[in-house]
Amino acid sequence: ELPPSEFMQVADSTWLVLSVVSNGRAPSGSQATGVTKIARSVIAPLAEHHVSVLMLSTYQTDFILVRERDLPVVIHTLAGEFDIYKEESGECVPVTCDDASNGFLKDKPATSPTLHPVQSPQTRFCILTVAPDTLPAIATMLIDVLFYSHSPPREAGTSSQDLDSITFFAFSLIEGYISIVMDAETQKRFPSDLLLTSSTGELWRMVRIGGQPLGFDECGIVAQIAEPLAAADISAYYISTFNFDHALVPEEGIAEVIQLLQQRQDSGR
């Protein structure tokens, strides 16, 4: 039972997972470019049709979560750009617009989506994977980092100037593939020979979107970040959470990213 001061909020709908694949195969490798590549073809069109999405980038690929009730509008929005398939009994079956129910069109919002503030902590992050058979060797360390190593949360009003560092650790296990995001200092606690990253060993910086909990209902948040980065051909690794959205970009490009997002903020006012 949660303490009286805390509560659990559960989305009032079921979410479905979409993944964009090329020639029947999901993109692989350590360059997290997926959210940038699909910004114009997927993220922007869904935002224009007022479809709320959650993004989850992994070391291997990128996933888009949409509400099950929004599936008809998703299909009609994307059918002109993509061949759409659904999984039935382990088989991929083509989906057509006729499979969606009538009344799929949603009224577009009368106002533009809210442009949320963007913060950029100084923390440097690593995007990693690990072979599943070596997971037991780091299990104890994973448990310690996930549940016992968090610093006290900052005040909600913390400004971007005071946001020197941020506690952030993400672990996903999807269809046998493991993906981990951790800060560079935390990485030093793990055996270096078990954590796999790109050959360049590049580090990433974060831009965090939102000044208060974003919830599940808003649309256009991912587009706020993905569209400017796509226009500048900048890779981005994106993770949505209930409170904030997080985009990781290559460290050497952080200054350009902040400038691009600030220009978008200024033009939206």
Q: What is the pLDDT of residues 47-96, one digit of tens each?
A: 999 999 999 999 988 999 999 999 999 999 999 889 999 888 888 899 87
Residue-by-residue DSSP string for 63-80: EEEEEGGGHHHHHHHHTT
Q: Which two tokens stand for residue 212?
A: 């208060």
d(CA 110, CA 113): 9
Q: Which two tokens stand for residue 159?
A: 């400004």
pLDDT attached to residue 148: 84
Domains along the chain with CATH numbers: 1-151+158-268 (3.30.2130.10)
Residue listed under structure tokens 């959210």: 35
d(CA 153, CA 258): 24
Neighbours of 17 (CB within 10 A): 12
150 Cβ neighbours under 8 A, 6+ residues apart: 167
Coil, helix or strand for 47? helix
Q: What is the pLDDT of residues 245-269, one digit of tens each?
A: 999 999 999 999 999 888 877 776 5
pTM: 0.81
pLDDT attached to residue 16: 93
d(CA 88, CA 54): 23
